[in-house]
Chain A
């Protein structure tokens, strides 16, 4: 009997001291592990293969796709998005532009792409998600630098700001209700204060991200959709002007942020 007690005491002592060692920031070790080995990297590799593969009815790669710096120029391209594109006469974010190219260059049907863009949780992910994270990874280490020069870019920015504060529905929520103060959290999920320029930088530099609970890569389009879902509002249309306006506003506010994908979300 006493033998048991002393061995249990010994184990308890070991557990306590191990815990005490990590008491500084108990999450730091975990954060570092996730930063060094993020499953999202698997999709960056897949996205790279998909980018160069000849796909779709037109059996073409995406090498001729212009993300704003010229056809096929990927390095730093997403640091300038969203931006105005003369060929479509629209302000487009990464996912919107990706769809444009997948339709025009590869011959995919837009409705099909939209249907599969956001993959089911636990699936092997969508081609759109993999491509989005690959293309964004080509800006890793570079600073966000969204410029406003075309009138439509100014319009989008202001519309995004308006929408950020627009309250509606039975929750009376706009983005600002949850993202307007620092050190707030919903249950145990920390909330980014998006009225603070420093904190917005974290938002714009860590998407697309591996969403642990879904086991797939998630993008900014998905994140916006999911917010409106929780707000009890109707479903945000994929790559709609509303989504691009909000993204333009947030990305411009986050200028200076250093891109580092894949992000990791819970």
Chain B
């Protein structure tokens, strides 16, 4: 009697599972399914451009579901990789022309892919205005990031501030691992010279950002 009961149960359990008691896949399976989608579901004019979808090590760490916290080891790794990525302008000058930086800061275009073509302009825009308040009185500015109004007026333009500002724009993750801010210089969206112009835009006492 007992044996028969056991027999039926052993038969029944796998049948139940096979019948599809569907459930959430585990993390590894999800990753496999999703990465396969990413590799198949986009088009670009060249294979090189498709590589934009491939994550680097830092991006992989910084893609935690639900905004979960980093472990100390992960924090260290992102910081280390970010600091190692920083490149300075060939001239060694970290402060460029604030007027050029002003133009860049308000330019949200460049390097987008549409209709099988890459948006190629003289240079990529800095995208700053999308997320940051800049010169006082400007209305059409975002608030995803903190206000930069009066940046230089508040901090001065010591060598330390200049270096910090340059590095923060070049690779924000060198100071705030997994920050929402793009690693503009490190990912190649902006050149070191462009970053220097933006430093000037923030730091220069004459810059519109520091106007009263």
Q: Is A29 an interface residue (CB 8 A)?
A: no
Collect the chain B residues with CB atoms within 8 Å of residue A170's CB.
52, 111, 182, 184, 187-189
The reply to whether B67 and A180 contact each other, CB–CB distance below 8 Å, is: yes
**Does A188 interact with chain B (Cβ within 8 Å)?**
yes
Q: Knowing A158-B25, A229-B114, say if A167 contacts B42 (CB, 8 Å).
A: no
A95-113 vs B, Cβ < 8 Å mask (1 yes, 0 no) = 0000000000000000000
Binary interface encoding of chain B residues 50-92 relative to chain A, with 1 for a CB under 8 A from any of its CBs, else 0? 1011110001001111110000000000000000000000000
Query: With A158-B24, A185-B144 in contact, is A235–B131 under 8 Å at CB?
Result: no
Say whether, besides A170-B188, A234-B42, A242 and B55 are in contact (CB < 8 Å). Answer: no
* Chain B residues within 8 Å of A237, by CB: 41-43
Chain A residues within an 8 Å CB radius of B53 = 168-169, 233-234
Q: Are B34 and A245 in contact (CB under 8 A)?
A: yes
A52 at the interface (CB under 8 A from B): no
Q: Are B52 and A163 in contact (CB under 8 A)?
A: no
> Which residues on the A side are within 8 Å of B139 (C-beta)?
188
Report the bound CA distance from A45 to B143 in whole Å: 39
Q: Which residues of A lie under 8 Å from residue B142 when comparing CB positions? A: 184-188
Answer whether residue A60 sits at the interface, using C-beta atoms and an 8 A cutoff.
no
Q: Flag if A150 contacts B38 (CB, 8 Å).
A: no
Q: How far is the CB of A182 from chain B (nearest CB, A)?
A: 11
Rounded to whole angstroms, the CA-CA distance of A191 and B145 in the bound complex is 13
Q: Are B40 and A165 in touch, CB under 8 angstroms?
A: no
Contact flag A232-B111 (CB < 8 Å), given A168-B54, A187-B142, A242-B41: yes
Contact A229–B65 (Cβ < 8 Å): no
Q: Judge whether A161 is part of the interface by a CB distance below 8 angstroms.
A: yes
The reply to whether B44 and A163 contact each other, CB–CB distance below 8 Å, is no
Point out the residues of chain A lying under 8 angstroms from B208, CB to CB.
none
Chain B contact-residue range equals 35 or more
User: Contacts A153-B22, A174-B63, A232-B52: A243 and B41 contacting too (C-beta < 8 A)?
Assistant: yes
Is the pair A178, B37 in contact by a Cβ cutoff of 8 Å? no
Q: Is the CB of B112 within 8 A of A154?
A: no
Q: Do B31 and A172 touch (CB < 8 A)? A: no
Determine if A215 is an interface residue (Cβ-Cβ < 8 Å). no
Give bound CA distance, A176 to B66, whole Å.
Answer: 9
Residue pair B30, A162 in contact (C-beta under 8 Å): yes
Give the residues in chain A near B129, CB-CB below 8 Å.
Answer: 187
- Residue B147 at the chain A interface, CB threshold 8 Å: no
- Would B130 and A186 count as touching, CB distance under 8 A? yes
Chain B stretch 78-133: residues in CB contact (< 8 A) with chain A: 108, 111-114, 116, 127, 129-131
CA distance A235 to B25 in the complex (A): 28
A177 is an interface residue with CB less than 8 A from chain B = yes
- Residues on A with beta carbons closer than 8 Å to the beta carbon of B33: 155, 158-159
Q: Roughly how many angstroms separate A176 CA and B29 CA in the complex, as a whole number? A: 22
CB closest chain-A residue, reference B50? A234
Whether B31 pairs with A162 at a CB distance below 8 angstroms is yes
Hey, what's the 0/1 contact readout for A179-197 against B, CB within 8 Å counting as 1? 0110111111001000100
Cβ–Cβ contact A163 & B187, under 8 A: no
In the complex with contacts A163-B34, A240-B40, A229-B189 CB distance below 8 A: no
How far apart are B133's CB and chain A's nearest CB, in angstroms?
11
Asked if B23 lies at the interface with its beta carbon under 8 angstroms from chain A, I say yes
Q: Mark A221-257, 1 if CB is under 8 A from B, else 0.
A: 0000000111011111100111101000000000000
- Interface flag for B180 (CB, 8 Å): yes
Taken together as a complex, chains A and B put the C-alpha atoms of A242 and B127 apart, in Å, by 26
Please tell me if A171 contacts chain B, counting CB pairs below 8 Å. yes
What is the CB-to-nearest-CB distance from B120 to chain A, in angstroms, rounded to a whole number?
A: 12
Chain A residues proximal to chain B, CB less than 8 Å? 148-151, 153-155, 157-159, 161-174, 176-178, 180-181, 183-188, 191, 195, 228-230, 232-237, 240-243, 245
15 of the cross-chain contacts (CB-CB < 8 Å) are: A150-B22, A159-B37, A168-B59, A172-B187, A181-B144, A185-B143, A186-B142, A187-B141, A232-B113, A234-B52, A235-B44, A237-B41, A240-B42, A242-B41, A243-B41
Q: A187-B140, A195-B66 are in contact. List 13 more A-B contacts (CB 8 A).
A: A154-B23, A158-B24, A163-B34, A165-B63, A171-B182, A172-B59, A172-B182, A180-B180, A232-B189, A233-B42, A234-B44, A234-B53, A242-B37
